[in-house]
């Protein structure tokens, strides 16, 4: 609870912003890339906040858009250290809301896609605080656009599945029937498990030459893309493993990759207000 105590002490100095009605806690998707992927609704929420509780996957270019008058509280996971406990996050956020502050809970990508947005909304509601969810561009969309891989293409894939590599208990999610002809499979949180994923796909009957793209830090300055096949990946985990946030896109759409000229985004002088 150390982070919790620190936050309470610090906000007591700055004091709550004046407001006539209680704000909902805004659970805001920051998008998975840089500030260019922020929605206008998300930007307005950030600009109106008194305090922003943010995760580690939120890009620095987005944190730069938080007004200097607002407090920024990191509640993510720092290299090698455990994440802020989920219960502590709930306590920090509800404490701030109870002080009458305009609170933004800023999360990477979309809050409702592998983002625990619903767990947090439930916890805030249990403390008597309504929330408003602001969607964000999930990693699948940002990575696909950033590297030019269409998630669907009528010549290659008419369906797409988003899945996390593992279940809550750490075991690999079943992949049977999710990859192969006519389908795209997008795997979140699988960068360190590429060899096991590839082996599971081969066991499920996928052909070894099915292409895989590994996109690390998609849509950001540090972006790195590598391409392999399921067969090659089954034996090359050490070589192809990613250390930053990474997404696997698996399917014939990888071969349909188009050239894209996307560059990091620079934001100048944009101001919005929420009505």
Ligand X SMILES: C[S@@+](CC[C@H](N)C(=O)[O-])C[C@H]1O[C@@H](n2cnc3c(N)ncnc32)[C@H](O)[C@@H]1O
Q: Active-site residue numbers?
A: 55, 77
In terms of phi and psi (left: phi > 0; alpha: psi -120 to 50; beta: otherwise), the region of 148 is: left
Per CB under 6 A, does 93 bind ligand X? no
Contact indicator for 31, 63 with CB cutoff of 8 Å = no
- DSSP annotation of 115 reads S
* Segment interacting with ligand X, rule: CB under 6 A, options 15-23, 40-48, 124-132, 135-143: 135-143
- For ligand X, how many residues bind (rule: CB under 6 A)? 22
- Distance between CA atoms of residues 58 and 46, nearest Å: 13
**CA–CA–CA angle 252, 255, 258 (5° rounding):** 125
Nearer to ligand X, 8 or 195 (CB): 195
Per CB under 6 A, does 219 bind ligand X? yes
Nearer to ligand X, 209 or 243 (CB): 243
Count the alpha carbons within 13 Å of 92 in the hemisphere toward its beta carbon. Answer: 28
What is the closest distance, in whole angstroms, from the C-beta atom of residue 173 to ligand X in the complex?
13
- Distance between CA atoms of residues 87 and 82, nearest Å: 14
What is the closest distance, in whole angstroms, from the C-beta atom of residue 245 to ligand X in the complex?
4
Per CB under 6 A, does 143 bind ligand X? yes
* Segment interacting with ligand X, rule: CB under 6 A, options 35-43, 201-209, 213-221, 261-269: 213-221
Nearer to ligand X, 73 or 246 (CB): 246
Distances (CA, A) of 190 to 5, 57, 133, 193, 198: 35, 16, 26, 5, 11
Per CB under 6 A, does 247 bind ligand X? yes
Can you tell me whether residue 216 is helix, strand or coil? strand
Helix%, strand%, coil% for the chain, nearest 5: 30, 20, 45
Per CB under 6 A, does 115 bind ligand X? yes
Residue from 25, 27, 73, 113 binding ligand X (CB under 6 A): 113
- Distance between CA atoms of residues 58 and 29, nearest Å: 9
Q: Which residues pair with 26 in a beta bridge?
A: 104, 132
- Distance between CA atoms of residues 147 and 33, nearest Å: 12
What are the phi and psi torsion angles at 172 (to 5°)? -70, 135
Per CB under 6 A, does 36 bind ligand X? no
Residues 49-68, one symbol each (x = binds ligand X by CB under 6 A, - = not), give: --------x-----------
Residue from 26, 217, 249, 251 binding ligand X (CB under 6 A): 217
Nearer to ligand X, 101 or 144 (CB): 144
Question: Would you tell me how many other CB atoms lie within 10 Å of the CB of residue 91?
Answer: 18
What is the closest distance, in whole angstroms, from the C-beta atom of residue 229 to ligand X in the complex?
20
What is the closest distance, in whole angstroms, from the C-beta atom of residue 172 to ligand X in the complex?
15
The binding site for ligand X (CB under 6 A) comprises 32-33, 57, 108-110, 113-115, 138-139, 143, 188-189, 215, 217-220, 245-247
């Amino acid at each position: 609870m150390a982070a919790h105590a620190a936050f309470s002490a610090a906000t007591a100095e700055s004091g709550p912003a004046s407001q006539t009605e209680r704000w909902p806690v805004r659970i805001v998707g920051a998008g998975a890339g840089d500030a260019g992927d922020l929605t206008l609704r998300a930007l307005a929420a950030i600009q109106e906040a008194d305090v922003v509780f943010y995760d580690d996957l939120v890009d620095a270019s987005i944190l730069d858009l938080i007004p200097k008058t607002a407090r920024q509280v990191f509640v993510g996971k720092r290299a090698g250290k455990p994440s802020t406990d989920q219960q502590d996050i709930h306590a920090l956020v509800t404490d701030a809301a109870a002080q009458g502050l305009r609170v933004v809970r800023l999360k990477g990508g979309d809050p409702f896609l592998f983002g625990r947005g619903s767990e947090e909304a439930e916890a805030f509601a249990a403390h008597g605080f309504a929330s408003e969810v602001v969607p964000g561009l999930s990693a699948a969309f940002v990575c696909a656009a950033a590297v030019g891989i269409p998630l669907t293409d009528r010549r290659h894939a008419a369906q797409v599945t988003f899945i996390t590599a593992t279940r809550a208990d750490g075991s690999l999610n079943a992949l049977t029937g999710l990859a192969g002809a006519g389908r795209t499979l997008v795997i979140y949180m699988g960068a360190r498990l590429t060899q096991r994923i590839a082996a599971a796909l081969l066991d499920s009957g996928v052909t070894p030459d099915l292409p895989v793209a590994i996109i690390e830090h998609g849509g950001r300055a540090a972006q790195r893309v590598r391409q392999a096949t399921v067969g090659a990946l089954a034996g090359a985990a050490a070589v192809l493993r990613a250390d930053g946030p990474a997404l696997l896109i698996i399917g014939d759409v990888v071969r349909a990759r188009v050239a894209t000229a996307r560059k990091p985004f620079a934001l100048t002088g944009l101001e919005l207000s929420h009505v």
